[in-house]
Amino acid sequence: MIHPWHGLRYGLFITKEVLTGSFDVARDILTPRKGATPMIVEFPMACTTDAEITLMASSITITPGTLTLGITPANGSSPATLFVHSMYNRTREDVLTGLRDMERRLLRATRGGDAS
């Protein structure tokens, strides 16, 4: 269930990310080979339900400059994992930090309050 207030905040966050990502892609088109640092990262998730995992993967893919390449389901003590292609982060840790922030906001919207 989406909590209305946190859902609205998440929607605004995603809108900002789409606009920022669009700017990054446009800048890269106008100045080729200046800003792209493509990489693929493995992101173990705190998301547990199919809805949370789908929303997270969709949020990543809708943001220009990122793409969800694949999902590995949870297996025993191993969490579900996304494989994400990113174009405009300097390090793997930068990508993972951004993904953790997105996931934290998503879980707040789906679980409420201080969920993480």
Q: What is the pLDDT of residues 45-98, one digit of tens each?
A: 999 999 999 999 999 999 999 999 999 999 999 999 999 999 988 899 999 999
Report the distance separating Cα 18 and Cα 64, nearest Å: 6
Q: How much is the average pLDDT of 19-35?
A: 86
The pair of three-digit structure tokens given for residue 28, joined into one six-digit string: 């890269």
pLDDT band per the 50, 70, 90 thresholds, residue 115: low
Indicate if the pLDDT at residue 33 is higher than 80. no
In sequence order, what are the residues at sequence separation of 6 or more whose Cβ sits closer than 8 angstroms to the Cβ of residue 52?
A: 45, 106, 107, 110
Indicate if the pLDDT at residue 5 is higher than 70. yes
List the one residue out of 90, 115, 98, 114 whose CA is nearest residue 13.
98
Write down the domain spans for the chain.
Answer: 4-110
What integer pLDDT is reported at residue 29 of this predicted model? 87
